[in-house]
Amino acid sequence: MKFGLGFLTTYLVAIIFIFINNCIVVPLQAGFSSVFIDSFLGFIRELLPTVILSGWIYLLPCCLIGELLYRVFIRNRGFITGLISFGLLGIVLTLLIGGRSIYSLLLATAVAISFYIARREKKI
């Protein structure tokens, strides 16, 4: 159950991250007036491949590796240790898969950390 929640969280964070990049950051860099509509259409065009391809090719293997990391190393550790470990996991997986831009590094790190936050078991 927790894995499914973490996987759904990674989907939502990836979609929100792409929306912020395409609809807010790109129009601000190019002048906000006429670029917003083109940027929003770019987000819509990028949304379908993100949901279909990225979820099964990139997000699912990363979540499976994150689940393994969580069960073996992180379960009984502190919150900060988990954040650092999953942040490094996002960076390492991005560099291994081939994303060299700062955008892909930030996206993978945010997705990995959100998986950890959604997946972790809260101690009472």
Q: Which residue has the tokens 């065009």?
A: 45
Task: Find the domain containing 101 and state its range.
Answer: 2-119
How many separate domains does the chain show? 1
pLDDT tens digits along 4-20: 888 888 888 888 887 88
81 domain-assigned: yes
> pLDDT at residue 29 above 80?
no
99 domain-assigned: yes
pLDDT tens digits along 61-78: 888 888 888 888 888 888
Cβ burial 41-54 (10 Å sphere, 16+ → b, else e): ebbeebeeebeeeb
Give 5's contacts (C-beta < 8 A, 6+ positions apart): 118, 119
96 domain-assigned: yes
Please tell me the distance from the alpha carbon of residue 10 to that of residue 115, in angstroms, as a whole number.
6
pLDDT value for 91: 87
Please tell me the distance from the alpha carbon of residue 51 to that of residue 64, in angstroms, as a whole number.
17
Give the confidence band of 55 by pLDDT, cuts at 50, 70, 90. Answer: low
124 domain-assigned: no
